[in-house]
Structures are given as C-alpha cells and as structure tokens.
Amino acid sequence: MVSVSYGKYTVELPVRVKLFIDGEEVPSSRGRTFTRENPAHIDQTLAIVEEASIDDLNRAVDIAREVFDKDKYSWVTNYRQRIRILYKTAEILREEAERIAMTVALENGMPMRQAKSHVLAAADVFEFYAGLADKLYGESIVLNNGNVTLLFKEPVGVVAAVSPWNFPLTQAARKIAPALAAGCTVVWKPASYTPMSAMEIYRALAKAGLPKGVVNVVYGPGATVGNELVKHPKVDYVSFTGETTTGKLIMQQAAAGIKRIGLELGGKNPGLVFEDANIEEAVRAIVFGGLRNAGQACGAISRVLVHESVHDKLVSRLVEVSKSLVIGEPLDDNTDMGPLISKAQEEKVLSYIQFGKEAGFKVALDGGKLSGGIYDKGYFVSPVIFDNVDPKSRLAQEEIFGPVIAVIPFRTEQEAIEIANNVIYGLTASIFTKDPARALRVARKLQAGTVWINDAYTQPVEGIWGGYKQSGIGRELGLYGLEEFLEIKQVYVDTTGSLDRPHWRTVMKIDKL
C-alpha cells in the first residue's frame, strides 16, 4: 500500500473499485480486474478495477429495466423523491469537493485548482436538474370541434450512459442528472481511465438515498462492455461522449433497434481574433480555452485565426503567456498543467507535433515531451504553437486532444469565416472583437453549437452543449438537455359522446352498417 496526501486528506493506494449493481458494490462475476496507473507517476497503481462480464452487464440492464417498468420505489412517478435525491447529491459533492478533487487529480492528471472547480461544476449540474424534476409540463389543446388533445412528457426509459475521462464528473453529471430528473433509470459505463471518479459519483448518489437499481455502473473496454451496452435490446436511449469515430459506430449499433441517441463528439475549434480585438484578453482566453486540462478537451481552441495586422503581436504574447505556465505535479496548487492521460495519448500528441515540424510550419513555441525530475515519471508534454499553418493540413483539420495550437492568419472577415467552417467539426468557436455588430454577424455564420464572444470555454449549466456536423447529435445542459430524456405522447379525448363523426362517414359509410 502507498499513501498519498493532499491537505487533510490521505488516500491509501491502490483503491479497489467495484461494480455498482442494484445498489450494491459487487465484484465481477468472472473475477476479472484491470488496473489504472497515475499519469503523473506511472509506476504507481491507483486502482484495481472490477471488469464487468456480459452477465454482469445483462444483470445491470435487467435491474434498470425492472425498476423502470414496474415503477419500483415509485421512482418514475414520485418526482419529489427525485428532487430530494438530486439536491442531496449536489450537497454531498460540494461538502466533499476537495477530497473528490484529489481523486480527479490523481487519476486524470487535472491540476487541483481546476479539479476543485470541476467537482463544484458537477454539483451545479445535479442541482440545476433537481429544480426541473417537477416541471415536466405538458400541454393541452382544445380543438375547434370541442375535443381535447393532451401532450404528455414521459421518461424515455432505460438510459445507457457512456462517459469520457477528460472531465469525468461533469460529463457524467450531464447525462445522469437529467436522466434521473426525467424519471429514467441508468446503466453507466464510465471511462476506464477514471474509475475512481465514477465511484465518487455513485457513492454520492447512494448516500443521497438513491433507490437500488436506479443507477447501475459497469466498467470495462468499450469494444466489449460498451458495445454490448449500446446495442442491448432493453436499452431505450444511448448518451455518449467521446471521439467522432466511436460515435459513428454507436450510430450504427443503435440503428438496429432504432434507439434514440445523444452524441457529444469531437471538435477542431477556432478562435477568431479580429484587428480591433483586445489582444491581452484574447491571449488569456486562448490559453485558458486551448491549454486547460493539457488541451484534452473537445471544446478546446486548437486553431487561432488572427487578422494579419495583429498577427505578430498576438503570437508574441501568446507564446509568452504559454511559456509561463507551470507544468508539474497535479496535487501541487501552483501547477497550471498536469500530464496527459496515458501513454497512447502522449504518443498521439507527439506524432502531431512531429508532423507539424516535418511539414515545415513555423514553430513559434517549441515544446513537447518533457524530461528530468518529475517529468521522467509521467506523461508530461509542454505546449507547442505552430504559426502560419496551412488550414487544409492535418494540423488544422484533425482533433489532436493535447496542448498544440495552430495559428492561421487571415485578411478578411469572410476569409476567417470560411477557414473556421472548413472542417468536419462544429462544436465551439470564439470571436474576439470590440465591434458588437461584427461579433453577432460572424457568430450567426459560424457552424458551431456554441460561440463565445470575447470569451472561451465558459459553460453555464443553464445554457447548452453540443455541436453541428460531426461534432454530434442532440444537446446537453439546460432545458434542452432534459428534453433528450423525454418522450412526448399525445392523448386525444373525445368530449362529445356522439356517434355522429363526420370524418368517420367521409372515409367509410359505417352509419349504414
């Protein structure tokens, strides 16, 4: 056993992470486990995780199905119960934010300052949807013949939630909280890189009083456990966050059962800096939006489109601020950037850096794999900024998911818009200008689900999250995030009691029968 401490908290490693089925933490029925390493100290095993078998998965789905179909514990009908549990979950996450943030920092590599706010943001999501659980209002329409049409909003059923590792708590909360508010049950497969963070979520739910079987958690590879969950015939809705390639496969699998799906996928997001922009504001937003969590964010600014008249000034300052970032131990409060999540991710990022250099793009800030001291123990990569990048190159077209920024100069507003839109993605974009008319004009023309004006990567729970094109289908957060988990049913009521229905006689002469 190894002890790791932060402030008043100490964690004994490795942590044993079990499956969560029918309200109990249980081992794999096949006895299989896998381990999770610390990305900042790769010789350190953080967790030993129970890997779900297909039998475990089937049991989890069956239980979720039974709870929903039989309305066990009055889960589907008693919205006041759901409100109490969601509010209590938010309260628990806030009370234990620092301890949970330590878990996130250890297995994700997210620096503690960000990890703390990450936990609190997840709490905000649970609280927001707690406030909506009793507001699933339908409609009634009185027709011109005196009859009435009633529109009911009902929970979609059993939800398969597949969440990523980069923001493990908030991304899970965006699926689980609205699903529970709607009255659904959930089978959740978290990312294998962040099992301890997932455990914190389901323990908070259980502590808040969640009835058995409403949320069930299974761990394992996406190719087996994830694949079987998505195509399971007893699952009604699939909510997935991850890379676009996997999203395409999930669409194919869901099609067999005509399942409803929500996909939050990749991005190659532009930051457009116009000639009248506040350069200091733009630079700080780009560094925050592009390099937080070591650039491992689907909404990260990875392309900086800058007007040629302010190009040199912006690049110079962008390099200066990026170089000032402290890269190191996630549990150190002074750290700005931690390690990448894994060896595979590190190799992917380094391959893009190598490509950019071999392609001959100007290296404004040369970084890459760090070495010496703590850097030899983890997957640490420092920011790299390429200048005058060809907008059609891989560096400007493909999602890297790391601290790599491509700078592309432009001359006109229309050129900037065309470059920004000329990718397969459409998740986010940022516009930097002092001209409000231009800001709104450009925002309307950008093909992106979220556009920030003089800001980057701000995600209010009251808003939405989701993308255009190959960045996904559906929306998370806000009222629209709740609608994803609802079905709309029409109930037509005849109020006349009459057998004289003109539309019956029009089609068939049943009055003569």
Amino acid at 502: P
Residues 77 and 220 both lie in one domain:
yes
- Verify that 344 and 431 share a domain, yes or no: yes
- CATH number of the domain to which 375 belongs: 3.40.309.10
Residue 478 lies in a domain: yes
| Dihedral class, residue 472 (left if φ above 0, else alpha if ψ from -120 to 50, else beta) | left
Do 300 and 239 lie in a common domain? no
In a domain, 483, yes or no: yes
Assess whether 79 and 142 both reside in one domain. Answer: yes
What is the C-alpha separation between 114 and 94, in angstroms, rounded? 15
Determine, yes or no, domain membership for 69. Answer: yes
Residues 360, 476: one domain?
no
CATH number of the domain residue 140 falls in: 3.40.605.10
Reported as half-sphere exposure (CB side, CA atoms, 13 A), residue 79 has a value of: 15
Specify if 9 maps to a domain.
no
- Quote the CA–CA distance of 304 and 313 in Å, as a whole number: 13
Supply φ then ψ for residue 427, to 5 degrees: -90, -65
465-497 exposure pattern, b = at least 16 Cβ within 10 A, e = fewer = bbbebbbbbbbbbbeebbebbbeeeeeeeeeee
Active site residues per annotation: 264, 298
* Cα pseudo-dihedral 195, 196, 200, 201, rounded to 10: -20
Q: Which domain holds residue 83?
A: 53-265+471-489
Q: Say yes or no: 90 and 150 in one domain.
A: yes
**Residue 244 in contact with residue 265, Cβ under 8 Å?**
yes
Is residue 504 one of the residues assigned to a domain?
no
pLDDT in tens, the chain (513 residues): 899 999 999 999 999 999 999 999 999 999 999 999 999 999 999 999 999 999 999 999 999 999 999 999 999 999 999 999 999 999 999 999 999 999 999 999 999 999 999 999 999 999 999 999 999 999 999 999 889 999 999 999 999 999 999 999 999 999 999 999 999 999 999 999 999 999 999 999 999 999 999 999 999 999 899 999 999 999 999 999 999 999 999 999 999 999 999 999 999 999 999 999 999 999 999 999 999 999 999 999 999 999 999 999 999 999 999 999 999 999 999 999 999 999 999 999 999 999 999 999 999 999 999 999 999 999 999 999 999 999 999 999 999 999 999 999 999 999 999 999 999 999 999 999 999 999 999 999 999 999 999 999 999 999 999 999 999 999 999 999 999 999 999 999 998 877 667 776 666 666 555
d(CA 247, CA 251): 6
Tokens of 24: 């109990």
Residues 445 and 480 in one domain: no
Please report whether residue 496 resides in a domain: no
Same domain, 92 and 104: yes
Whether 283 and 203 map to the same domain: the answer is no
Residue 199 CA to residue 140 CA, distance in Å, equals 42
* CA separation for the pair 203, 200 (Å, rounded): 5
Residues 145 and 290 in one domain: no
User: Is the link from the previous residue into 14 a cis peptide, with omega within 30 of 0?
Assistant: yes
Distance CA 298, CA 140 (A): 40
**Long-range interactions of 5-14: CB distance < 8 A, separation 24+:** 6/98, 6/102, 6/105, 6/112, 6/331, 7/98, 9/98, 9/99, 9/102, 11/102, 11/103, 11/106, 13/44, 13/45, 13/46, 13/47, 14/45, 14/46, 14/47, 14/48
Q: Are residues 105 and 245 in the same domain?
A: yes
Q: In angstroms, rounded to a whole number, what is the distance separating the alpha carbons of residues 51 and 253?
A: 22
How many domains does the structure of the chain reveal? 2
| 497 lies in some domain | no
pTM of the model: 0.96
Residue 463 domain-assigned (yes or no): no
Please indicate, yes or no, whether residues 342 and 446 belong to a single structural domain of this protein.
yes
